[in-house]
Chain A
């Protein structure tokens, strides 16, 4: 096992990249701690698969180096890097039975039979496939096949990292829960470095200790789920994390208050120095609440009952704004919306402005 370091890494699929837009992956420096559970989150085309393929060795970066521990593996083949990967669609060897599928990576590395048997049984138990070990892989359901793929990824104890490329795409919601918690348990038991690529925020946030949010070939934030939720570093993170995403309102920030174009004032939970550029305040729908008075006037367009909460879609001064109201809380007869001051973030040209208190601390 090893720490993974990306040094001045960048990649372009073009032979002679001219400008920044030619790069699928813009220059980055990152360290992935040994034994960490990471998620690479972003919409399609943001470069997350490119980054994954560079780490796994399926792609050689056009700039920069990839280090596993102290070893430079930039030009090493996939096999030399000693990693495991689980793909979006189940990859199983159809003609083999489940046992042989799980044993395949071990057999190829010449492990002895007793060890293979013990290890395969252990993995089968963990993925809940003991009863299926002697079934042929062909003809199993998609989730069973994906479980085999996961199992094959886990079966080697000495891998440097296990990479997951949207592994739960083909899985039913009910089954997703089961597989995701199994993954977490496997991570806890074996302590492998895991990198999980997905466009699904729930999967990313629940799986990872640290989530890497990518946007247009750039890492915009690397942080714990809580950091991403509470203090998104970029408006894209605010929009992308959370369902629905963060609300943004244009404002003029002075000290600890924000002046909205309509003349209203919103109190902020912190003091800010002079802020230049296009300034917005961001507030999560979960941190906004409907009130009778003392807030901003809200025009309600639609109320959706999502079961455990209600989603109020409305407008503040012509700008869309969503509010999440917990189950059982009334929404009728409350014409205004108020924000929790501590939870408001300030953005200048889409990047978060650090308040004076936080900067000093």
Chain B
């Protein structure tokens, strides 16, 4: 178990990580999700012990490891760049952490072969890393991280430099590898879809702060504030100014049907919804209609992204099927109230979308 207690880090008066508490359980997959410069790498470096926290303590299985050297901590790290020893064969690369630990020869051989097998590297054991494809190089780096049986494996955007299809392939494999290893995995990514595919827990990061931490589908469907929702939506969540008065919520030029808004104070608030919940046809009798102007469409082959302007707001909708529409034309879009999140003036979630609670 890894515990961060009130960990923070500032460099030269600039806060990189605000005081953070985080507990990661043994054998769990944890995703750090946030845009570039949100503090994912900083947080990982603190976990690894590569950087010392300005305040706070780090506990490993209950004992304080804050001041301990990286070498003594049993951590492994995989980076965005494919980092291997270029002069060694894949076999020697994978064996290197064990050789440093001074393990007996037959144990090294057994572990290297096991790990290589798990990562489909067995046919390449005799080759040098630079003779491999990008995907294989990153597999080799992963194998090196896994082979020593480190209790904490940190993966810093490991798939960012790979082709789309290779990324897809490794994304399927990483959870499988992880399940076999029993270590704490921490995986940093900028992509919400990657977080969802990996499952486990997700911590959303924004400007050096963890905005929410919990099981991935819960964080996705029940974000605690608008920032979390923004970070955990691709395309970004759509927002529209709303107002609550006399027990009713007005959304743009429409009104939400009566619901449980009692927790929401009267006055201005913010409504948010995801792209895939916007539709071009009325989804149900309770649906809210908006009159918009179409700015652009993007067709993926089976789906269409519609970019619309509603007053000053700009929204993205993702709808099924191929829709050939002319930009500039007026367009009616619908929204099922069950898919609407309501945030108060300080962007805290007050009324979660009804569908998320039912699911």
- Chain A interface residues toward B at CB < 8 A: 43-44, 142, 172-174, 177, 180-181, 184-185, 188, 199-202, 205-207, 224-226, 228-230, 239-245, 284, 286, 302, 304-308, 311, 313, 327-328
B298 at interface by CB-CB < 8 Å: yes
B110 at interface by CB-CB < 8 Å: no
> In whole Å, how far is B121's beta carbon from the nearest beta carbon of chain A?
19
Residue in A181, A207, A226, A308 whose CB lies within 8 Å of B274: A308
- Whether B300 pairs with A225 at a CB distance below 8 angstroms is yes
- Beta-carbon contacts under 8 Å, B266-325 to A: 274, 276, 295-296, 298-302, 305, 307, 316, 318, 322
Residue in A44, A228, A230, A306 whose CB lies within 8 Å of B197: A306
Count chain A CB atoms within 10 A of each CB in B164, B276, B318, B327 and give the residue with the most.
B164
- Whether A305 pairs with B300 at a CB distance below 8 angstroms is no
- Whether A307 pairs with B196 at a CB distance below 8 angstroms is yes
Q: How far is the CA of A44 from the CA of B36 in the complex (A)?
A: 25
Chain B residues in 8 Å Cβ range of A306: 193, 196-197
Chain B residues in 8 Å Cβ range of A228: 301
- Whether B164 pairs with A199 at a CB distance below 8 angstroms is yes
- Whether A244 pairs with B168 at a CB distance below 8 angstroms is yes
B236 at interface by CB-CB < 8 Å: yes
Q: How far is the CA of A311 from the CA of B197 in the complex (A)?
A: 9
- Whether B172 pairs with A206 at a CB distance below 8 angstroms is no
Chain B residues in 8 Å Cβ range of A188: 296, 327
- Whether B236 pairs with A44 at a CB distance below 8 angstroms is no
Q: A185-B295, A304-B196 are in contact. List 12 more A-B contacts (CB 8 A).
A: A43-B166, A142-B36, A185-B327, A199-B163, A199-B164, A201-B164, A206-B299, A229-B300, A243-B164, A307-B192, A307-B196, A308-B274
Chain B residues in 8 Å Cβ range of A307: 192-193, 196, 217, 220, 274, 276
B191 at interface by CB-CB < 8 Å: yes
Q: Which residue of A lies closest to B233 (CB)?
A: A307
Q: How far is the CA of A306 from the CA of B274 in the complex (A)?
A: 13
- Whether A207 pairs with B298 at a CB distance below 8 angstroms is yes
Q: How far is the CA of A166 from the CA of B250 in the complex (A)?
A: 43
With A173-B191, A304-B197 as contacts: A200 and B35 at CB distance below 8 Å: no
With A242-B301, A286-B302 as contacts: A172 and B359 at CB distance below 8 Å: no
Chain B residues in 8 Å Cβ range of A184: 296, 298
Chain A residues in 8 Å Cβ range of B276: 307-308, 327
Chain A residues in 8 Å Cβ range of B274: 307-308
- Whether B168 pairs with A174 at a CB distance below 8 angstroms is no
- Whether A200 pairs with B164 at a CB distance below 8 angstroms is yes
Q: How far is the CA of A301 from the CA of B300 in the complex (A)?
A: 28
Q: How many A-B residue pairs have CB under 8 A?
A: 102
The 6 sampled A-B contact pairs (Cβ below 8 Å) are: A180-B298, A201-B164, A206-B300, A229-B301, A307-B217, A328-B359
B117 at interface by CB-CB < 8 Å: no
Q: How far is the CA of A158 from the CA of B359 in the complex (A)?
A: 54
- Whether B300 pairs with A205 at a CB distance below 8 angstroms is yes
- Beta-carbon contacts under 8 Å, B344-359 to A: 355, 359
Q: How far is the CA of A301 from the CA of B305 in the complex (A)?
A: 31
> In whole Å, how far is B195's beta carbon from the nearest beta carbon of chain A?
9
Chain A residues in 8 Å Cβ range of B305: 206
> In whole Å, how far is A58's beta carbon from the nearest beta carbon of chain B?
22
Q: Mark B206-228, 1 if CB is under 8 A from A, else 0.
A: 00000000001100100000000
B131 at interface by CB-CB < 8 Å: no
Q: Which residue of B lies closest to A232 (CB)?
A: B301
Residue in A173, A181, A244, A327 whose CB lies within 8 Å of B234: A173
Chain B residues in 8 Å Cβ range of A174: 35, 234, 236
Q: How far is the CA of A207 from the CA of B298 in the complex (A)?
A: 7
Q: Which residue of B lies closest to A44 (CB)?
A: B163
Interface size on B, residues (CB 8 A): 40
B190 at interface by CB-CB < 8 Å: yes
Count chain B CB atoms within 10 A of each CB in A44, A173, A180, A327 and give the residue with the most.
A173
B134 at interface by CB-CB < 8 Å: yes
B97 at interface by CB-CB < 8 Å: no
Q: How far is the CA of A44 from the CA of B302 in the complex (A)?
A: 25
Q: How far is the CA of A172 from the CA of B191 in the complex (A)?
A: 8
- Whether B295 pairs with A181 at a CB distance below 8 angstroms is yes
Residue in B165, B296, B355 whose CB lies within 8 Å of A199: B165
B19 at interface by CB-CB < 8 Å: no
B199 at interface by CB-CB < 8 Å: yes
> In whole Å, how far is B278's beta carbon from the nearest beta carbon of chain A?
12
With A229-B302, A313-B172 as contacts: A43 and B163 at CB distance below 8 Å: yes
- Whether A305 pairs with B199 at a CB distance below 8 angstroms is yes
- Whether B301 pairs with A230 at a CB distance below 8 angstroms is yes
Q: Which residue of B lies closest to A287 (CB)?
A: B302
- Whether A305 pairs with B217 at a CB distance below 8 angstroms is yes
Q: Which residue of B lies closest to A226 (CB)?
A: B322
Q: Give 9 closest A-B pairs by Cβ, nearest first.
A: A229-B301, A206-B298, A225-B301, A308-B276, A199-B163, A205-B300, A200-B164, A306-B196, A172-B35
Q: Which residue of A lies closest to B305 (CB)?
A: A206
Chain A residues in 8 Å Cβ range of B359: 327-328
Q: Which residue of B lies closest to A320 (CB)?
A: B172
With A173-B192, A205-B300, A305-B199 as contacts: A43 and B235 at CB distance below 8 Å: no
Count chain A CB atoms within 10 A of each CB in B36, B193, B216 and give the residue with the most.
B36
Q: How far is the CA of A4 from the CA of B318 in the complex (A)?
A: 33
Residue in B168, B301, B307 whose CB lies within 8 Å of A226: B301
- Whether A205 pairs with B163 at a CB distance below 8 angstroms is no
- Whether B190 pairs with A172 at a CB distance below 8 angstroms is yes
Q: How far is the CA of A307 from the CA of B318 in the complex (A)?
A: 13
Chain B residues in 8 Å Cβ range of A205: 298-301
Q: How far is the CA of A306 from the CA of B172 in the complex (A)?
A: 13
Q: Which residue of B lies closest to A182 (CB)?
A: B296
Q: Which residue of A lies closest to B38 (CB)?
A: A172
- Whether B301 pairs with A43 at a CB distance below 8 angstroms is no
Q: Which residue of B lies closest to A188 (CB)?
A: B327
With A229-B301, A229-B302, A304-B197 as contacts: A181 and B35 at CB distance below 8 Å: no
Q: How far is the CA of A243 from the CA of B327 in the complex (A)?
A: 27
Q: Which residue of A lies closest to B355 (CB)?
A: A328
- Whether B299 pairs with A43 at a CB distance below 8 angstroms is no
Q: Which residue of A lies closest to B169 (CB)?
A: A244
Chain B residues in 8 Å Cβ range of A242: 301-302
